Amino acid sequence: MSERLDFGQLGFKAKELDGGDELAGKRAQFLLDDGVYLDGNSLGALPRSVPGHVEDVVRRQWGALKIRSWDESGWWTAPERIGDRIAPLVGAAAGQIVVGDSTSVNVFKALVGAVRLVDGARDEILVDATTFPTDGYIAESAACLTGHTLRPVTPGEVPDALSERTAAVLLNHVDYRTGRLHDLPSLTAAVHEAGAIAVWDLCHSAGALPVGLDEHGVDLAVGCTYKYLNGGPGSPAYLYVRSSLQDRFDSPLPGWNSHAEPFGMRGTYEPATGARRGRVGTPDILSMLALEAALEVWEGVPVEAVRAKSLALTDFFLECVAAYVPEGRVESLTPVRHEERGSQVALRCEDAGDVMERLIGRGIVGDFRRPDVLRFGFTPLYVGFADVERAARVLAEELR
């Protein structure tokens, strides 16, 4: 534990940090109450532009224009158009991301598609052993359906686990439980050196830190949009297919929306070109256009500035926790080193479930992961340093 500081000192430091925050003005673009919302790594806050936009979609585009909106309101091209808005946030050029379906469905498309891209003699899929459970379930099903062996390994074990048998590797960029950031560039390079395909889950990194999909040669990636991208509950996920692989990407879920002639109603399937290959059926327009409105808050925001503030917020939270919380009451599971940290802090606490209930009752909203983890997500677009200091102070009061 660091030398203990009183509330006044850290409160003053919070004001200074907020005064120099170049992203502080973004907070006004969200609908927030008087509490401290530190659960944006589960569900992002509501951008103010969304309700009015959704009302227009419902009343005018659907209500007045009806089916004409597929053309006149741009519904048909929304999956690729919105994908191009997400692309800069994950370091991708336009034309490589399509929005639609859930993260789970897109993991399935990506993993089976990855297996189909490599030599059929490769019979093993590696999956992150610490992954969010659904990714593991999907990977097990994909392996079974393709006749492959599934081998769970930790990200640190991947380089040694790779072999001529490896067809694809599914990894999480940030560990959902601890907030650990894994080394996407070096792990992708190791997968490629072994002749396999790298598939990354970006759910806990997109919108919080630079990803660099194109720069680091990632093959396939998926991600949700309801966390740091603030797309709303159940907002559609996205699928990234590197441009050089698109003409060979063979989706296991071909649908009329990904057909080269979707209105030809042909009996045989011919895949569309480009990112459209990742589509399946009719897109969920209401959720998709709510997401499009939510992404407007990213106009003019460099991801590098978001990352810098994210690290500053989590550094300051850890400092405040060390100063305020009784020694030995919590243990941080989140790495101290910036290159290993995402945008959340996970604290182990023996009565974590009860503690989080009390925090929420006092307006400090984080979440609890069994059996003993308090999880706090720091969304740089709307979380400030005074919020951080207040959260740590209330946590300390509840733990005394």
84 labelled catalytic:
no
Q: Distance of CA 40 to CAs 183, 203, 224, 239, 328, Å?
A: 23, 12, 12, 21, 27
The radius of gyration of the chain from alpha carbons, rounded to an integer in Å, stands at 22
- 227 part of the active site: yes
Whole-structure pTM value: 0.97
- pLDDT tens for 281-313 read 999 999 999 999 999 999 999 999 999 999 999
Band of the pLDDT at 7, cuts 50, 70, 90? Answer: confident
Instruction: Check if 176 is active-site.
Output: no
Would you state the structure tokens that stand for residue 222, as one six-digit string?
């998926």
- 373-377: strand order across its sheet: 331-332, 344-348, 373-377, 367-369
C-beta separation of 391 from 376 below 8 A: yes
Contacts of 8 (CB under 8 A, 6+ apart): none
370 is catalytic: no
pLDDT per position as a tens digit, 189-205 = 999 999 999 999 999 99
pLDDT digits (tens, 9 = 90+) for 257-271: 999 999 999 999 999
Does residue 226 have an active-site annotation?
yes
Per-position DSSP letters for 42-74, written without gaps between them: TSPPEETHHHHHHHHIIIIIIIISGGGHHHHT-
Token pair for 139: 């990977």
To the nearest 5 percent, what fractions of the chain are helix, strand and coil? 45, 15, 40
Structure tokens given for 391: 């959260």
**Choice among 37, 132, 378, 385 that is catalytic:** 132
How far is it, in rounded angstroms, from Cα 21 to Cα 381? Answer: 10
Residue 1 above 50 pLDDT? no
Helix (H, G, I), strand (E, B) or coil at 32: coil
CB atoms within 10 A of CB 302: 13
